[in-house]
Structure 1
Amino acid sequence: MVTEEKLAGWTGPSSPTEKDKQERTERMIREAIDAHEGFDGYRNDFSVYAKGSYANNTNVKSDSDVDIVIECTDVCYWQEYDPAKGGHPAGSPYTGPWTPEKLRAEIAAALEKKFPGAVTAGSTAFEVEASSARVNADVVPSFQYKLYFSDGTYRQGTKVFKKDGTSIVNYPKLQLERGKEKNVRTNGFYKKTVRILKRLENELVAKGLTEEVPSYLLECLIYNCPEEYFSRDTWRGTMRGCLAKIFNSTMGREPDNDRWVEANGAKFLFHPAQKWTRAQVHKFASDAWDYMEFE
């Protein structure tokens, strides 16, 4: 049985040594972008910031990679939530130099100069290999994105183009904002519970008792759990409630009126384009429940 003492030990963030490596990695990537001559004349049009588990302080040692966004704000891609109603007038087409191809090329050159032999170009992001002084990093070339509503307000995110020309929209800053808000409402127990679930998944995978589940998905699962679960007297009580909720909510077809969302609160968690499925999550929740020896 996973004891209360062990769960309490799983609530903490990365160790000071690991945190130093993460911060050093972020700093070195910023330095690479700042020093690259390809961005001369446009430095005010780029925003470099961390996203994901590292930025949200929900990462654990086994998932300590750093995700860094290089966002070009010289370009703004946008669309309307409901085009039939309208919400934003069309502007002039962008005529500047920053195409998805050019952005990828300049970021690649900047990283390869700073980290020779340690950069791999993936379909979406560039991976910078870890060393004794830094952790693995994913660097994501992005553009500013706005989703306009019929009242003229908008939701701001990023648009990321893959090498094959397809694109996805992310909301990294909303994830950070929503996570902070939920953590405050739960007196700090939300992020501690996320760390417990991530460490529990790591242990199950290491013992061959479940299939690997993406770190971001684990955070989203806890994000969708009722906040009253985080005020229970014990960590076993909190995990019992969360695992039961995850198991029951992923059983069968998802109801249209109760769809789960990502930790940014802006995108549905389950849909055909996702790289995970409800069945995968349901099986993981069952495996975790059994390992915790809940009845």
Structure 2
Amino acid sequence: MPITEAQLDTWSKQGASGPSRDTYAAVRKVLEDKAAPYAGKDPEIFLQGSYGNDTNVARDSDVDVVALISSTFAHDAATLSPDQYQAFEKTYVGSASYSYSQYKNDVFNWLTSKYGTSVRAGKKAIYIPAGQNRRECDVLAAIQYRYYYRFNNALDQSYASGICFYLQDGTQIVNFPKQHSDNCTTKHQNTKSWFKPTVRIYKNMRNYMIERNKLAEGVAPSYFIEGMLHNVPNDRFGASFEDTFVSTYNYLNSTDRSQFKCANGIHPLFGTSAVTWRSENCVTYLEALKALWTNGMK
């Protein structure tokens, strides 16, 4: 039998945010310390991920913090017309002297000096272990990324501002967390506050299946679930959680998903790059959801 409205209502609830809020406040204070070696670069500290977007559920434990500097930036200006790219190069002659690797190293050393040698530099972020009144936390050292629409001169240019970081093998990762967050908030408002609870239901269903070996870990990351549901028409949300799940699922299962965009509105949702979802993983997730809905909780 289908999953009950009461269970869906339970799954729609936001996980406890107090410990995460306290963790963020403590880590942010450390990152913004004027004694930090990168302080002169005026870093901007903000949350991203489930806690930043208010879609966290009980299983979410770590806190994702971005430490962004804009004085050093990466860009796609080479994709502009030749005359605009020439104007860009003339304006920004000479690259920034403070590199991404220097910045990440400075952030890592600073956090190690504050939290001890258990701080680790991971593939993407710098990991701070849980401590007294503090949850696990990932700090992503990032530089600005400029996705250019136009560049005529310094006073006449247009670009989307995102973040950029590099993996240990040099792979560049570009994302737009602020646009993602803003668009999810707008979607939530346009669906009369049904969007974010629905995301939490889809996430909790995923977690339920993972815990029972019905779905592999990593098949359906939270970021992509949010992006997927962001593409569902607003009128598919509402009335009840059961109606909302059935209506959103039926849309996702029957429509052409190939043109879906991430919630940031810039990247395609599906593809083979490091910031896109493999379409086969989405199919696996949707099939697992159908099986759970059809067979019920066991």
Bin of the TM-score, shorter chain as denominator length: 0.7 to 0.9
Instruction: Deviation per CA, 1:83-113: give whole Å up to 9, x if none.
Output: 2376563223455542111111111011112
Instruction: Deviation per CA, 1:48-90: give whole Å up to 9, x if none.
Output: 1111211110111212321111111212322238423765632
Distance in 1, matches of 2:11 and 2:94, equals 49
**Consecutive unaligned residues in structure 2, runs of 5 or more:** 152-156
Question: What is the aligned residue count?
Answer: 284
Where do residues 207-218 of structure 1 align in structure 2 (5 Å cutoff)? Answer: 207-212=212-217, 213-218=220-225
Please identify, of 31-40 and 116-125, the stretch whose mean Cα deviation from structure 2 is larger. Answer: 31-40
Instruction: Deviation per CA, 1:103-128: give whole Å up to 9, x if none.
Output: 11111011112221332211221122
The aligned counterpart of 2:279 is: 278
Asked if the contact 2:80/2:148 (under 8 Å) is kept, the reply is no
The aligned counterpart of 2:294 is: 293
**Consecutive unaligned residues in structure 1, runs of 5 or more:** none
Where do residues 146-165 of structure 1 align in structure 2 (5 Å cutoff)? Answer: 146-150=146-150, 152-165=157-170
The aligned counterpart of 2:250 is: 244
Shift of 1:294: 8.1
Where do residues 184-195 of structure 1 align in structure 2 (5 Å cutoff)? Answer: 184-195=189-200
TM-score, reference length from structure 2: 0.87
Shift of 1:12: 1.6
TM-score, reference length from structure 1: 0.88
Q: 2:121 aligned with 1:121, yes or no?
A: yes
In structure 2, relative to structure 1, the CA distance for the partners of 1:264 and 1:294 (3 Å cut) is farther
Q: Considering only aligned residues, what root-mean-square deviation do their CA atoms show, in Å?
A: 2.3
Aligned-partner SS, 1:75? strand
Aligned-partner SS, 1:37? coil
Where do residues 48-197 of structure 1 align in structure 2 (5 Å cutoff)? Answer: 48-80=45-77, 82-84=79-81, 87=84, 89-90=87-88, 91-94=91-94, 96-131=96-131, 133-150=133-150, 152-197=157-202
In structure 2, relative to structure 1, the CA distance for the partners of 1:294 and 1:238 (3 Å cut) is farther
Distance in 2, matches of 1:87 and 1:166, equals 26
Distance in 2, matches of 1:130 and 1:111, equals 13
Shift >4 Å, 4+ stretches: 85-88, 94-97
Distance in 2, matches of 1:37 and 1:94, equals 28
Please identify, of 210-219 and 32-41, the stretch whose mean Cα deviation from structure 2 is larger. Answer: 32-41
Please identify, of 208-217 and 194-203, the stretch whose mean Cα deviation from structure 2 is larger. Answer: 208-217
Distance in 2, matches of 1:260 and 1:202, equals 24
Distance in 2, matches of 1:72 and 1:172, equals 14
Asked if the contact 1:86/1:150 (under 8 Å) is kept, the reply is no
Asked if the contact 1:64/1:135 (under 8 Å) is kept, the reply is yes
Give the aligned residue type for 1:22. Answer: S
Asked if the contact 1:174/1:264 (under 8 Å) is kept, the reply is yes
- Structure 2 counterpart of 1:202, from 204, 207, 212: 207
Please identify, of 74-83 and 217-226, the stretch whose mean Cα deviation from structure 2 is larger. Answer: 74-83
Shift of 1:284: 1.3
Distance in 1, matches of 2:290 and 2:27, equals 40
- Structure 2 counterpart of 1:230, from 222, 229, 237: 237
In structure 2, relative to structure 1, the CA distance for the partners of 1:136 and 1:94 (3 Å cut) is farther
Distance in 2, matches of 1:191 and 1:81, equals 37
Give the aligned residue type for 1:55. Answer: G
Where do residues 263-274 of structure 1 align in structure 2 (5 Å cutoff)? Answer: 263-274=263-274
